[in-house]
Amino acid sequence: MKLYKILWLPVVIIIVLFSRCQLNVSEQDYDIINNQWQQLKTIKDGGLLGERADLWRNQRLWNIAESGYLIDGFENRPGVHPWQGEHIGKWLHAATLAFNVTGDEKLKQKLDEMVGRLLATQLENGYMGTYDKDNTFMALPEGGGWDIWTHRYNLYGLLTYEKYFPNKKVVEACKKMGDLLIRYFGKGKYDLTKYGTRQGISSTTILESVVMLYERTLDTKYLDFAEYIVHVSENNPKLRLMGAMLEKESVVYPGDGKGYQLMANLLGYLRLYRCTGKEKYLKTVLNGWEKIHTNHLLVTGGPWSRHMPYNGNKECFAHIDAFHPEKVVVEGCCDATWIQLNIHLFEFTGEAKYFNEAEITLFNDLYGHQYTDGIEWCYYTAPNEKTPKYVPGYHCCGSSQPRVLEMYSSHLAGVINNKLSINTLNPSTIALTSQFSGGRIKIEGGYPLKQSAKIHFELQKSKSFIMEFRLPANTIAKAVYVNDEEVLPLENSRGFMEIKRKWKNGDMVSIDISYALKAHVQNGEEGKKWIAFTYGPFALAQQISKVPDNEPFKNFTQDELKQVLKSFSRQSGAKIAFTIEGMDITFIPYYQTDSKHSGPRTYFEINNKI
């Protein structure tokens, strides 16, 4: 060691000791790391986005709320299904965000009613589940039930409601639930990972809700409990999600690779990072994101899964050599949680790439799960299937997916580093805060079915600021005009395009974009390969009503495959449709292939020697 380094050592030690003291003193006041991107209020969501959101807002939202299914299991224990209790928390989350856009007073009354009735079912000890007393998580703390899962969603739903409608009674009820969980699963008590399913990964999803409770109360006992949940997860060799992600291992093994729940655990790690600043939690999330993004996504943005000898069931991640377009599935909850993870990473970093992912999954895989009557919903879809299985009943996926329909709609525009950040080209109206001189912006056009948008500025007075906008995935800007003048926006480090000027009432930004047509090769089982196509943010698929008996691309040579996009011809008219020269195939957006009588063929087998 060189002399100057030795001389510095005591100083370094003193500084470190001093910092530790400071840390101990201020631990309770640790500043939660703010998200960089803060949302502005959506007043209206239109176009395809609004159409799909309204299907749920006008139909399924009321259908499930008025069925009694949300609350019966709490009011008349036991419920009729092991995870019946999850639905009210999911509904509260989605319906609260829906009210925030629509301002529908009837919905507000329903929200208040459901919260009041749910709170009234809480037992003195804090329990708020749907199980009878011999089967609660307190009675069977090492059981295989879904009682903790119910509390995970109660906390999530109630804390979301309370964020928009402050209410001390709600916070007290949540604290009582948190305290009950600590009494049973805190330090020196039962091992949380021995409860639930898939090595306990269903129970450790409570991590995110416990951190939310800390964020709301700033009571460090909840933060300590959250970190203790990580500790017990890491002590379970069949779970250890953080250890596996830090070592850049596969997502196929932690908790049997259960897709939905693994990603829900990552949501918890992201919040925990924001509340502690400990890098290992953030790295867990980013490495997990990278693995899923690289190995486990369809071109539709759906995280696929398949039952294999080495994992738990068909809802678990599998290695790439398990891929087969008719044998893999996408659980709707996987779409929803992947979108949530991307929206939260987007809020945290402001990076366009995360919202692009959320948008691809929404426009393709998620819309593919939702039936156009607004009620029915698929639990699973497959990229190649003759008919999706829509069902009218209540299942996890039909309650998860509306949550992200609404999350998307509440993230249409925001603020980052004092810039107005326009995050979508979907037709919509967004309220501006005084930092942008008040007023609103109105986006018009037919995105994503059309490749242009006009952003109207309706300002209360002129003001200078930077406006940035996100170009959708797989698109380029053809021309951008401010009023009649063409401008060349610069792309910033987060992938947004910037325009700085003194904005005045009546200004209009016109954006013309161009969708890239791309081919994607997917490897899979028995060394087979498939090709799939995307157009801008859309996955393309052939609409089929029976299992095809031909493989039109299988005899293509490598050169022919390289040239294949040149044989695509966009049909005239407003609809997105491509035909291929010399073939009887029409490609349309994946989600449009779905009906009660037809489904998608997204992947086409190719010569595996290529």
Binding residues vs Zn ion (CB under 5 A): 331, 333, 396-397
Contact 254, 262 (CB under 8 A): yes
The nearest distance, CB 288 to Zn ion, in angstroms, is: 19
The nearest distance, CB 136 to Zn ion, in angstroms, is: 23
Cis-peptide into 78, omega within 30 deg: yes
Contact 601, 548 (CB under 8 A): yes
The residue to which tokens 């998580």 are assigned: 137
Residue nearer to Zn ion on the CB measure, 316 or 471:
316
Residue nearer to Zn ion on the CB measure, 395 or 450:
395
Angle separating helix axes 396-409 and 332-349, nearest 10 degrees: 30
- At position 330, the amino acid (one-letter code) is V
The nearest distance, CB 95 to Zn ion, in angstroms, is: 18
Residue nearer to Zn ion on the CB measure, 306 or 494:
306
Residue nearer to Zn ion on the CB measure, 331 or 385:
331
Burial tier of 446 (Cβ tally within 10 Å: 0-12, 13-18, 19+): middle
Residue nearer to Zn ion on the CB measure, 380 or 408:
380
Closest CA to 339 of 271, 261, 424, 405: 405
Residue nearer to Zn ion on the CB measure, 329 or 443:
329
First-to-last C-alpha distance (Å) of the chain: 56
CA 606 to chain centre: 32
Residue nearer to Zn ion on the CB measure, 297 or 513:
297
Closest CA to 207 of 263, 130, 258, 131: 263
The nearest distance, CB 45 to Zn ion, in angstroms, is: 24
The nearest distance, CB 379 to Zn ion, in angstroms, is: 6
Residue nearer to Zn ion on the CB measure, 268 or 398:
398
Residue 134 tokens, joined: 């011999």
Residue nearer to Zn ion on the CB measure, 388 or 414:
388
The nearest distance, CB 190 to Zn ion, in angstroms, is: 27
Residue nearer to Zn ion on the CB measure, 162 or 331:
331
The nearest distance, CB 156 to Zn ion, in angstroms, is: 15
Burial tier of 247 (Cβ tally within 10 Å: 0-12, 13-18, 19+): exposed
Helix (H, G, I), strand (E, B) or coil at 605: strand
HEC string for 429-445: EEECCHHHCCCEEEEEC
Cα dihedral 33, 37, 39, 40, rounded to 10, equals 120
In angstroms and rounded to an integer, the radius of gyration of the C-alpha atoms of the chain is 25
The nearest distance, CB 202 to Zn ion, in angstroms, is: 12
- At position 412, the amino acid (one-letter code) is L
The nearest distance, CB 350 to Zn ion, in angstroms, is: 30
Q: CB neighbours (10 Å) of residue 231?
A: 12
Q: For residues 79 and 121, what is the distance between their CA atoms, to the nearest angstrom?
A: 13
The nearest distance, CB 264 to Zn ion, in angstroms, is: 11
